[in-house]
Amino acid sequence: MFDFRKDKQISFDPHHMDDHGIDVIHPRRESKRGIWIEGLRLFRDIFLIVVVFILIGVFAVQPVVVEGTSMVPQLQDGERLLVNKLVYYKIDSVSWGHIERGDIVVFWYPKEPDKSYVKRVIGMPGETVEVRDGKVYIDGTELKEDYLDTEHNQALPTWPAKRIEDHYYFVMGDNRDNSSDSRYWGLVPEKYIYGKAFFRYWKPQDMGFLEHGRYENMPEPPLKDLRAEDQ
């Protein structure tokens, strides 16, 4: 009824085929190896992130500091901005890749190229700009500038008409009573513009994208003629 024979012993044949794939694991050695591999992966990821940020800083985005009050109320002295540098490469197929009226641009001051200025683009290549009693006219049509503050635009000066040459821009500060701009020292060469500001990251309470000028009553600038000359 009961079988009191000894339990059958399971034999392990060291030469059995099923044992050929078994690895002998040394926990301490494997632990060190795992830490080393993870460390290399972490270093690789950090290196790639640094490279990407360097490439972005060199070719796409650059931080700048606002100095002065020529762009109030839009920009205040000491604020930090991010500047899109794609305009330097003239990528017309992308809205960020070319200059438009109303853009806030950063450029080398033509009179002293070692200095940088920040102003708003008012006149485009091929247009004629005139200021009458503080109001700007483009080819005879008044430019509606809703972003201006009357507190900083009380002088209401008059300036003679100025024809904008190809590959040049007419820029002005939003603080018309206290801005050194194209009215005083002339046009900005296209090659001197190295970016347009699009985001304010300091001060924190004013963080956000910058206001772009909108001009519903203005015709499109004569860009086709310029492109034809470039070809």
Q: 7-34 pLDDT, tens per residue?
A: 555 454 554 455 455 455 556 665 666 6
Q: Which residue has the higher pLDDT, 125 or 5?
A: 125
Whether 119 is catalytic? yes
Type and span of the H or E element at 36: helix 27-59
Residue 145 lies in a domain: yes
Q: What is the pLDDT of residue 10?
A: 47
Q: What pLDDT does 4 receive?
A: 46
User: Which among 6, 8, 70, 115 is annotated as catalytic?
Assistant: 70
> pLDDT tens digits, residue range 171-226?
999 999 999 999 999 999 999 999 999 999 988 899 999 988 888 877 655 544 43
Residue with tokens 């004629």: 128
d(CA 96, CA 86): 7
What pLDDT does residue 2 have?
A: 47
Q: In which residue are the tokens 């494997």 written?
A: 30
In a domain, 114, yes or no: yes
| Residue whose pair of structure tokens reads 């049509």 in the numeric block | 141
Candidates 198, 148, 136; CA nearest to 175 is 148
In terms of Cα–Cα distance, which of 130, 118, 213 is closest to 164? 130
Whether residue 59 is predicted with pLDDT greater than 80 in this model: the reply is no
Verify whether residue 31 is a known catalytic residue.
no
- The pLDDT value recorded for residue 26 is 56
What are 85-142's pLDDT values in tens digits?
887 666 666 666 789 999 999 999 999 989 999 999 999 999 999 999 999 999 999 9
Enter the tokens of residue 164: 């904008």
Same domain, 51 and 142: no
Cα distance from N-terminal residue to C-terminal residue, the chain: 105
**Any idea what the CATH number is for the domain that residue 195 is in?**
2.10.109.10
Q: Looking at 6, 8, 90, 119, which residue is catalytic?
A: 119
> How confident is the model over 141-158, as a mean pLDDT?
93
Choose the final residue of a domain: 57, 80, 98: 57
Question: Is residue 158 very low, low, confident or very high in pLDDT (cuts 50, 70, 90)?
Answer: very high
Res 204: pLDDT: 87
Last residue of a domain, one of 5, 35, 57: 57
